[in-house]
């Protein structure tokens, strides 16, 4: 029998073993949550070969801290770093830096605080710990101090939560020093455990307890590579010295959090994400769910330090002061070119900006008077709920380097210009400025004070030379926060041990793999994909039945067989959310062993699948549908063009060709039925980059993608599968089913497009329903301009709300519908190799057909909402990264074409917007949008959306929707390194 010892503390030493708090549910109920805490004495310190600690209690965890810590000039016996919460939050770039070599002790208290204050930073810290062997030379260890008997602390009477956490950190630091001292008592001198904190009071309290403590800057200053690591440190907090208080405030202070909460709850203030105007950096918009139209904010003072993506709170002006967006292009780089990076006021640039802001306000009033339809609710930013600050890709502006310091290693203040023109320039201090000119660099924002025209930040690292493919590709991945590091060991350990040698086992009664699977290996199944596709998610079949009906099937890779819930690979796939497709490479959601091999439905290879099989009438009406796990062996893997050739060549009568023809006939009828129900045929620019050779990543030219019947064939059956699966999982799991919706757009989104079409082309747009919109888009045709209809559809697409994943129980049933597809319910099931939402849907469908029980986490609506919010964000970021990659390669291809032909590229383009000082054009062949500004005087007619430009033969009128010839050259600004489309 196991002996159990119960030890009691003295009452005055007792630590509260329970955490009690109240939580409000979505339905308004208040529930009490009680959490028990059990203290232990076997939680290891994390030091390798520690003679005192027992084996770590957590499976897969092994001590990673070196016995003597890491060297430091001030600590000859070595040291371990124990950062507090603010040190970890503000200096994460330091701890991630390749040259940082100190061993880290991360307390549970600190990790919990970081998670509460910034989930993205918490995930970065987790990655730091997970990959400590690779990233942190001295190792990193998470110590569960709140569950170790000697380090757990209770809250004292009158003590704040922050003070209790600070005391817990000091208690853990003292225990570590004592523990490591005992471990080294009979051997070498013990390394120092150093508390790292920028809080002066905390350092004083630590000193009183004989706990060594330093500020981050003081610690880094003592390192041999202090110059290199010093640049990575976050800018110090604001110091209220005499000079600072004498500087005039440029912005208003933000309202207190309590005031913001009360104002939003009472309907006096409005909350939403800040989106800068891409044509005018002195304007921005906030979409609030409480208002039909976006809130317009004009001028630096009213923008009040908001940065793209920030969650802001806005106070509206009286309706009599509402304005309309300005009709002039305002370029930040040109306006603020005279600003001095070392002058926070920037008087010269400030005066120019002040004049522009005043003109902007006058323009806004004038536009609003001329066209009341363009008026927006107008307000000012009074608070920031949540900053969207992240690592930004920038270039150093060489014009801000002092002429005497172009080769100096002394610290200087310079401007870093983000590659995105929607972001403000960032002031930073660095000793490496001369070496960083003409480099792409990563910069983080640290603060933006009320008396500074620019945010302050710090240099993180250099990516490489501007224009080099490697630096450009890495920069766009970082800019759009695409996870691109190699998969770690814990993730790879989740793969089948057989590796490439894994095969579907022989069919036997006791085989777990074959349990409840249909054997469809003899079925005539084929796949149709783009050229070069390696991650083949889907395959199809169709055959005639004896009763005259048709059986059609969609077979999807059974990824959920390999990616099990709640393991390292599942967690990583959820974090990545989606595979990201760039022009010359792919950033996979899953390891390549699965994505391009074991899950990919290759031809003539047995593979596990999840099948949706319908019985359809010859008119494509569904008789019934069934869902089953299966084993298939695809008979062919076609490209769209190869499948089209098979379909068109009537001399081919083999079963595969006949199956394609049958599928195509059904697809046409399915599409016709969708269109009759009101589905939209929208458009987006589709271009393809021609490479020098299949092995090369050097672009040669750009061409439009060819759309074939077989593209539509695959699309129709994927849509049908997604709709069928959505209905099944929603019926079975009405609270947690993973669905996808596309909400109807507000009528105000189309007002400008309606007005332009009517005035310029005499065409009316009916937006009363999706069907009415589809019909009116079909009538927007000009006989001798075939690209005009495509342009109108692209512009209509931009008026739409984005589609999104959601949890069925989180919204009302009436809002489930997909507006663009005219379907009452929809999900994503057909691409689990590249979309994590599809993996979740596979798990739910498997449970719905009683193949396997649903994992506990998928029963939690809160958990599902959290996962889907992350997936939605990753999906948006992946789209932006793909678009940026395409734009970069288009630019490289155009530059190469110009060099070969000795002249800039010349293409047809449509004018899509007119301004007081320029026009925006869209080149459909290249999928490229550019701005053409005029330096000479022009006559602008805002009523007719046109400008009159003087020429040698008189005035030329340019209007929205006019087709024009443009010469395109890619030219970089010397200082900002931004590319521009030059007319």
Domain ranges, ordered by start, for the chain: 44-230, 257-386, 489-740+807-879, 744-800, 904-983
The two beta strands, 517-520 and 622-633, are parallel
Element housing 463 (H / E):
strand 456-465
Residue 359: count of CB within 10 angstroms of its CB: 15
Cα separation of 825 and 726, whole Å? 6
Cα separation of 721 and 520, whole Å? 18
Average pLDDT over residues 277-303: 89
The two beta strands, 946-951 and 606-616, are unpaired
Q: What dotted CATH number matches 904-983? A: 2.40.50.140
Check whether 475 has a pLDDT greater than 70: yes
Beta bridge partners of 949: 956
Counting residues of the chain whose pLDDT is more than 90, the rounded percentage is: 49
CA atoms within 13 Å, Cβ hemisphere of 637 = 17
DSSP-derived 3-state class of residue 174? helix
The two beta strands, 192-196 and 963-968, are unpaired
pLDDT for 243: 46
Check whether 924 has a pLDDT greater than 70: yes
Check whether 69 has a pLDDT greater than 90: no
Residues 6+ apart with CB under 8 A from 294: 275, 285, 286, 287, 288, 376, 377
Residues 743-759 pLDDT 10s: 999 888 898 899 999 99
Cα separation of 461 and 232, whole Å? 8
- The H-assigned helical ranges of 799-946 are 836-848, 861-901
486-495, 643-652, 661-670, 974-983, range with the lowest pLDDT: 974-983
CB 443 within 8 A of CB 458: yes
DSSP-derived 3-state class of residue 205? helix
Cα separation of 722 and 740, whole Å? 10
pLDDT for 355: 61
Residue 687: which pLDDT band, with cuts at 50, 70 and 90? low
- Domain at 257-386, CATH from 1.10.630.10, 3.30.70.1710, 2.40.50.690, 2.60.40.1930: 2.40.50.690
pLDDT for 59: 45
Check whether 522 has a pLDDT greater than 80: yes
Residue 12: which pLDDT band, with cuts at 50, 70 and 90? very low
Of 936 and 572, which is predicted with more confidence? 572
Count of H-run helices and E-run strands, the chain: 27, 40
163-167, 224-228, 558-562, range with the lowest pLDDT: 224-228
Check whether 200 has a pLDDT greater than 50: yes
Alpha carbon 15 to its chain centroid, in Å, reads 42
CB 190 within 8 A of CB 79: no
Of 801 and 687, which is predicted with more confidence? 801
Nearest alpha carbon to residue 70 among 106, 46, 100, 102: 102
pLDDT for 401: 78
User: If you compute the radius of gyration of the chain from its CA atoms, what whole number of angstroms results?
Assistant: 31
Residues 629-680 pLDDT 10s: 999 999 999 999 999 999 999 999 999 999 999 999 999 999 999 999 999 8
Report the chain's mean pLDDT, rounded to a whole number: 86
Residue 706: which pLDDT band, with cuts at 50, 70 and 90? confident
Nearest alpha carbon to residue 226 among 332, 12, 377, 72: 72
pLDDT for 550: 97
Residues 774-805 pLDDT 10s: 999 989 998 888 889 888 998 998 899 999 99
CB 78 within 8 A of CB 212: no
Residue 184: count of CB within 10 angstroms of its CB: 18
Burial 3-29 (b: 16+ CB within 10 A, else e): eeeeeeeeeeeeeeeeeeeeeeeeeee
Check whether 340 has a pLDDT greater than 90: no
Burial 579-608 (b: 16+ CB within 10 A, else e): bbbbbeeebbbbbebbbbbbbbbbeeeebb
Residues 545-595 pLDDT 10s: 999 999 999 999 999 999 999 999 999 999 999 999 998 889 999 999 999
Beta bridge partners of 107: 143
Residue 13: which pLDDT band, with cuts at 50, 70 and 90? very low
Residue 61: which pLDDT band, with cuts at 50, 70 and 90? low
Residues 105-122 pLDDT 10s: 999 999 999 988 888 888
CB 647 within 8 A of CB 657: yes
CATH class label, 44-230: alpha beta
- Residue 462 φ/ψ, nearest 5 degrees: -95, 145
Of 899 and 958, which is predicted with more confidence? 958
CA atoms within 13 Å, Cβ hemisphere of 645 = 5
Cα separation of 722 and 572, whole Å? 25
Beta bridge partners of 972: 979
Largest CA distance in the chain: 105
pLDDT for 245: 46
- Strand ranges for 102-219 from DSSP E: 103-107, 140-143, 192-196, 213-214
Cα separation of 41 and 52, whole Å? 11
Check whether 843 has a pLDDT greater than 90: yes
pLDDT for 698: 62
Of 709 and 925, which is predicted with more confidence? 709
Check whether 166 has a pLDDT greater than 90: yes
Q: Ramachandran region of residue 125, left (φ > 0), alpha (ψ -120 to 50) or beta?
A: alpha
Question: How would you class 809 by CB atoms within 10 Å of its CB: exposed for 0-12, middle for 13-18, buried for 19 or more?
Answer: middle
CB 879 within 8 A of CB 291: no
- The H-assigned helical ranges of 541-639 are 568-576, 592-593
Does this chain's domain 257-386 share its CATH topology with 904-983? yes
Of 521 and 412, which is predicted with more confidence? 521
CA dihedral sign, ordered 321, 322, 324, 325:
positive
pLDDT for 723: 97
Q: Ramachandran region of residue 946, left (φ > 0), alpha (ψ -120 to 50) or beta?
A: beta
Check whether 697 has a pLDDT greater than 70: no
pLDDT for 136: 56
Q: Ramachandran region of residue 889, left (φ > 0), alpha (ψ -120 to 50) or beta?
A: alpha
pLDDT for 902: 82
Element housing 475 (H / E):
helix 469-479
pLDDT for 700: 57
Cα separation of 163 and 170, whole Å? 11
Residues 109-161 pLDDT 10s: 999 999 888 888 888 888 888 776 655 567 889 999 998 889 998 888 888 88
pTM score: 0.84
Residue 170: which pLDDT band, with cuts at 50, 70 and 90? very high
End-to-end CA separation in angstroms for the chain: 88
Average pLDDT over residues 838-850: 97
Query: Which two tokens mark 309?
Result: 């993506």
- The H-assigned helical ranges of 222-346 are 226-230, 242-246, 257-265, 300-303, 332-335
């Amino acid at each position: 029998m196991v002996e159990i010892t119960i030890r009691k503390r003295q009452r005055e030493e007792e630590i509260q073993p329970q955490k009690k708090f109240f939580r409000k549910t979505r339905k308004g109920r208040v529930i009490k949550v009680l959490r028990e805490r059990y203290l232990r004495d076997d939680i290891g310190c994390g030091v390798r070969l520690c003679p005192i600690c027992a084996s770590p209690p957590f499976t897969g965890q092994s001590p990673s801290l070196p016995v003597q810590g890491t060297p430091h000039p001030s600590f000859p016996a070595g040291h371990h770093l124990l950062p507090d919460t603010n040190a970890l939050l503000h200096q994460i770039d330091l701890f991630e830096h390749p040259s940082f070599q100190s061993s880290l002790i991360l307390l549970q208290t600190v990790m919990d605080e970081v998670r509460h204050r910034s989930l993205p930073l918490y995930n970065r810290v987790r990655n730091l710990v997970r990959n400590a062997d690779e990233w942190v030379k001295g190792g990193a260890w998470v110590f569960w101090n709140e569950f170790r008997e000697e380090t757990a602390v209770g809250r004292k009477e009158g003590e704040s939560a922050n003070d209790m956490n600070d005391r817990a950190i000091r208690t853990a630091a003292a225990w570590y020093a004592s523990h490591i001292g005992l471990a080294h008592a009979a051997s070498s001198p013990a390394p120092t455990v150093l508390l790292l904190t920028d809080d002066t009071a905390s350092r004083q309290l630590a000193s009183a307890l004989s706990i060594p403590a330093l500020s981050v800057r003081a610690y880094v200053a003592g390192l041999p590579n202090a110059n290199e690591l010093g640049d990575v440190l976050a800018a110090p907090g604001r110091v209220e010295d005499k000079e600072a208080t004498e500087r005039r405030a440029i912005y208003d202070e933000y309202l207190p959090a309590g005031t913001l909460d009360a104002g939003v709850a009472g309907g006096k203030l409005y909350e939403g994400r800040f989106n800068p105007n891409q044509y005018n950096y002195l304007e921005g918009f906030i979409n609030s769910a409480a208002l039909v139209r976006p809130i317009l904010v004009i001028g630096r003072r009213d923008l009040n330090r908001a940065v793209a993506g920030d969650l802001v709170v806005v106070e509206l002006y009286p309706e009599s002061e509402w304005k309309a967006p300005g009709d002039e292009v305002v370029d930040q780089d040109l306006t603020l070119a005279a600003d001095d990076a070392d002058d926070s006021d920037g008087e010269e640039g400030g005066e120019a900006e002040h004049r522009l802001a005043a003109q902007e306000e006058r323009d806004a009033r004038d536009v609003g008077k001329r066209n009341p339809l363009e008026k927006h609710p107008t307000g000012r930013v009074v608070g920031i709920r949540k900053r969207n600050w992240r690592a930004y890709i920038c270039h150093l502006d060489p014009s801000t380097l002092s002429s005497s310091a172009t080769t100096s290693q002394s610290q200087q203040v310079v401007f870093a210009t983000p590659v995105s023109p929607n972001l403000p320039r960032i002031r930073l201090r660095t000793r490496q400025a001369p070496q960083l000119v003409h480099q792409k660099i990563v910069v983080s924002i640290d603060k933006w004070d009320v008396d500074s025209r620019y945010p302050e930040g710090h240099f993180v690292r250099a990516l490489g030379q501007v224009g080099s493919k490697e630096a450009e590709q890495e920069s766009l991945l970082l800019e759009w926060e695409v996870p691109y590091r190699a998969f770690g060991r814990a993730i790879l350990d989740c793969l089948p041990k057989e590796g490439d040698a894994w095969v579907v086992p022989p069919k036997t009664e006791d085989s777990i793999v074959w349990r409840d699977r249909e054997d469809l290996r003899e079925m005539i199944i084929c796949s149709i994909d783009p050229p070069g596709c390696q991650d083949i998610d889907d395959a199809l079949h169709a055959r005639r039945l004896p009763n005259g009906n048709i059986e059609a099937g969609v077979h999807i890779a059974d990824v959920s067989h390999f990616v099990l819930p709640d393991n390292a690979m599942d967690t990583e796939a959820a974090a990545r959310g989606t595979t990201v497709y760039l022009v010359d490479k792919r950033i996979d959601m899953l390891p390549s062993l699965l994505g391009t091999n074991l899950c990919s439905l290759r031809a003539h290879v047995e593979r596990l699948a999840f099948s949706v099989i319908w019985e359809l009438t010859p008119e494509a009406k569904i008789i019934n549908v069934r869902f089953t796990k299966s084993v298939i062996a695809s008979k062919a893997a076609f490209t769209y063009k190869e499948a089209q050739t098979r379909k068109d060549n009537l001399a081919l009568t083999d079963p595969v060709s006949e199956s394609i023809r049958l599928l195509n006939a059904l697809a046409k009828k399915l599409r016709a039925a969708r269109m009759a129900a009101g589905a939209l045929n929208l458009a987006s620019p589709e271009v393809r980059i021609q490479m020098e050779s299949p092995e090369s990543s050097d672009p040669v030219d750009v061409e439009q993608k060819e759309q074939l019947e077989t593209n539509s064939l695959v699309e129709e059956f994927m849509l049908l599968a997604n709709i069928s699966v959505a209905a099944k999982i929603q019926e079975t799991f009405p609270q947690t089913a993973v669905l996808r919706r596309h909400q109807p757009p507000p009528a105000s989104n189309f007002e400008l497009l309606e007005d332009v079409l009517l005035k310029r082309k005499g065409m009316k747009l009916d937006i009363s329903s999706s069907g009415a919109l589809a019909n009116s888009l079909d009538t927007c045709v000009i006989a001798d301009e075939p690209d005009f209809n495509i342009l109108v559809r692209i512009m209509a697409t931009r008026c739409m709300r984005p589609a999104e994943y959601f949890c069925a129980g989180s919204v009302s049933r009436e809002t489930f519908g997909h507006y663009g597809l005219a379907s009452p319910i929809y999900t994503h099931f057909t691409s689990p190799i590249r979309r994590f939402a599809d993996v979740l849907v596979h798990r739910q469908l498997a449970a719905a057909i009683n193949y396997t029980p649903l994992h506990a986490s998928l029963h939690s609506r809160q958990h599902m909402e959290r996962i889907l919010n992350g997936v939605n964000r990753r999906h948006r970021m992946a789209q932006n990264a793909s678009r940026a990659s395409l734009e970069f390669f288009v630019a490289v291809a155009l530059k190469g074409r110009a060099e070969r032909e000795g002249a800039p590229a010349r293409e047809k383009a449509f004018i899509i917007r007119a301004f007081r000082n320029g026009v925006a054009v869209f080149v459909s062949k290249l999928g490229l949008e550019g701005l053409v500004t005029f330096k000479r005087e022009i006559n602008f007619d805002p009523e007719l959306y046109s400008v009159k430009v003087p020429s040698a033969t008189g005035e030329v009128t340019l209007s929205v929707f006019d087709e024009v010839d443009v010469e395109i050259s890619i030219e970089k600004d010397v200082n900002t390194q931004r590319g521009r489309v030059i007319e």
